């Protein structure tokens, strides 16, 4: 289901074993930085489990899906499609247009693995480079989301979390939900 303000992240391509951590990090970054769901290739079940586990403990709402129909998902998307690639237009040049377009329609952000076919470049409304330098699809996604949401994603609350990390100058402080309610 898509609603107008939805932002989904689609991980294009996954090699089990070799890509597990990168795909998991794409999913966790999507969740932490304000996306509503992540769509993984059908062979990324291990990453799906990890992201669901984190969502169960640290809160949602956030959806994780597997699909064997990546191309059909992109083609059939009822909204705008952004493809993050080092070959694309500079994020600082197009982020304003994308933000404006997203006010009226859901946004699908495609994050490449190794090989993204030309059809994805063709179908995307924007091919966007977070720099035109080779670095990391996880880093590109993170900067893109932070700019798309203009930092508001950092204020997000996680109402159904089992546990919560409380910001600390030094050390670690994790509280469970009951403890939080008692303290308030």
Report how far residue 139's alpha carbon sits from residue 98's, in angstroms, rounded to the nearest whole number.
19
Minimal distance in Å, beta carbon 167 to its own copies? 5
Determine contact, residues 33/153, Cβ cutoff 8 Å: yes
Report how far residue 133's alpha carbon sits from residue 123's, in angstroms, rounded to the nearest whole number.
23
Q: Which is nearer to its own copies, 105 or 143 (CB)?
A: 143
Minimal distance in Å, beta carbon 101 to its own copies? 15
Residue ranges that bind its own copies, judged by CB under 8 A: 21-22, 25, 28-29, 31-33, 54, 58, 86-93, 118, 121-122, 126-127, 129-136, 138-143, 146-147, 151, 153-156, 158, 164-174
Alpha-carbon torsion 28, 29, 31, 37, what sign? negative
Minimal distance in Å, beta carbon 28 to its own copies? 4
Quick check: bond before 121 cis, omega within 30?
A: no
DSSP code per residue over 114-138: S---HHHHHH-SEEEESSSS---HH
Q: Which is nearer to its own copies, 75 or 173 (CB)?
A: 173
> Kind and range of the H or E element at 172?
none
Q: Which is nearer to its own copies, 5 or 156 (CB)?
A: 156
Minimal distance in Å, beta carbon 27 to its own copies? 9
Q: Which is nearer to its own copies, 6 or 20 (CB)?
A: 20
Minimal distance in Å, beta carbon 49 to its own copies? 14
Q: Which is nearer to its own copies, 2 or 177 (CB)?
A: 177
Q: What values do phi and psi take at 103, rounded to 5?
A: -65, -25
Q: What values do phi and psi take at 173, rounded to 5?
A: -135, 115
């Amino acid at each position: 289901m898509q609603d107008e303000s939805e932002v989904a992240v689609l991980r294009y391509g996954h090699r089990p074993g070799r890509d597990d951590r990168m795909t998991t990090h794409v999913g966790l970054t999507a969740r932490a930085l304000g996306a509503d769901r992540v769509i993984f290739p059908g062979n990324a079940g291990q990453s799906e489990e990890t992201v669901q586990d984190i969502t169960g403990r640290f809160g949602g709402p956030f959806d994780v899906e597997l699909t064997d129909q990546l191309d059909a998902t992109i083609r059939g998307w009822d909204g705008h499609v952004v493809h993050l690639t080092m070959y694309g237009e500079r994020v600082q040049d197009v982020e304003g247009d994308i933000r404006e377009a997203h006010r009226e329609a859901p946004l699908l952000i495609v994050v490449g693995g190794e090989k993204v076919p030309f059809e994805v470049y063709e179908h995307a409304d924007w091919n966007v480079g977070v720099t035109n330098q080779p670095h990391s699809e996880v880093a590109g996604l993170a900067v893109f989301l932070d700019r798309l949401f203009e930092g508001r994603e950092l204020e997000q609350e996680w109402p159904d979390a089992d546990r919560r990390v409380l910001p600390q100058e030094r050390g670690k402080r994790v509280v469970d939900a009951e403890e939080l309610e008692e303290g308030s």
